[in-house]
Structure formats: structure tokens, C-alpha cells
Amino acid sequence: MNTNRLLAFACLAVSLLLSGCQKEIEFDAITDADFVQTQTEIVQADVAALIEATKSEDIEALIEFSHPRVVNYMGGRADAYFGMEKAFQEFHELQMSYDVFDVNGQPTFYRTDRHEFVIQKMHSVCLTPEMSIAQNSALIGMRDLGTQQWKYMDYNSETEKKVYKIFPGLPKSIELPEPTVEVTYK
């Protein structure tokens, strides 16, 4: 093999490695009835607490429920706090209120060789004096195998493209719900 071919092969190998060429992460849907029942109760209690924290603007609680990868992606705890504070401020400036904020169906659970994931579909409707904004989204929870506490990220139309950067262990073949936003003017 001459030097040019060897150099071309080496460049191809490096470019494949750098392009993120990787094997699909294998997973199983968790269907064990006891696991699903117990974890559904835990997740739904977490979701109820998250909804309450959102409505009462309890930023500390929202950060506590957020997965550390989400907080890091937001620039760390101080930046996450500031970003949420700013979002609530904009919420007030637009005179928004929640008309509906609830779960949409039962959660689904998945397991890889390193993590467990839960997907809980959500539905919310926010009102302003000029419009209503209906959103279908999801909370994606992740925990390492052997740990008990779920930590979450909000999966919506704005975070849809970031989900695999934040949760690189989330298998791309798990079907995630399509986030939607519908605005109706009054």
C-alpha cells in the first residue's frame, strides 16, 4: 500500500470517528407490571410537584427536578436560575396564565445497559388577553441503573433538537412524541 493510500485510509477513519459514527444504543421497553406501577406512581408524583413548582414559580424546586445535564447545558445552576427567572418575568409581562397543565396518558419506561428512561406526555394551555397557546410536550426522565431518583428535561418544540446532546445515552430509535404548539388568536 503506497503512502497516499495509507494517508487517505487514515483520514477516512479519523473522519468517521469525528462524525459521530456510532452503534445504535440497544434498549428494552420495560413492561414488568410491578416496576411500571411503582415507577408510574413515583413519576406522576414528580410531575405533580413539577406542575405545582411551575405554577408557584419555585425555581429552586424546578432546578432540583432537572437533570444535571440540563442544568449544565443551561450554563450551570446560576445561569439556569437566571434563565427561569427571566422566563417567568416574560410570562407575567405577557399576562399569561395556565388554563390547563396536566399529564397526557401513562408514562412509558425504557432501559439500556447504563440508564433507565421515562417519557411522560404532557399537555398545557396558556392564556393571554390576545391568544391561547396549546402545547403538547413531554417530560423525559433519566437515571443511571441502580439509582432511585428520576431527573427530568422538558421536551418541547424548542428542546426537540437538543435532546440527544443533553441525553446522549437516549436511544434514537425510541419513538418520542412530536411536540406541537397551536396558537389561537381571540
∠ Cα 112 117 123 (to 5°): 150
Backbone phi and psi for residue 109, each to the nearest 5 degrees, phi listed first: -120, 145
Q: Going along 79-179, which residue ranges are E strands?
A: 97-103, 108-111, 115-127, 131-144, 151-155
Going from N- to C-terminal start, the domains of the chain cover 26-185
**CATH 1.10.3470 holds for 26-185:** no
pTM of the complete model? 0.85
Residue that has been written with the C-alpha cell 497516499 in this structure: 4
147-184 pLDDT tens trace: 999 999 999 999 999 999 999 999 999 999 999 999 99
Closest CA to 73 of 162, 151, 143, 169: 162
Cβ atoms < 10 Å from Cβ of 165? 10
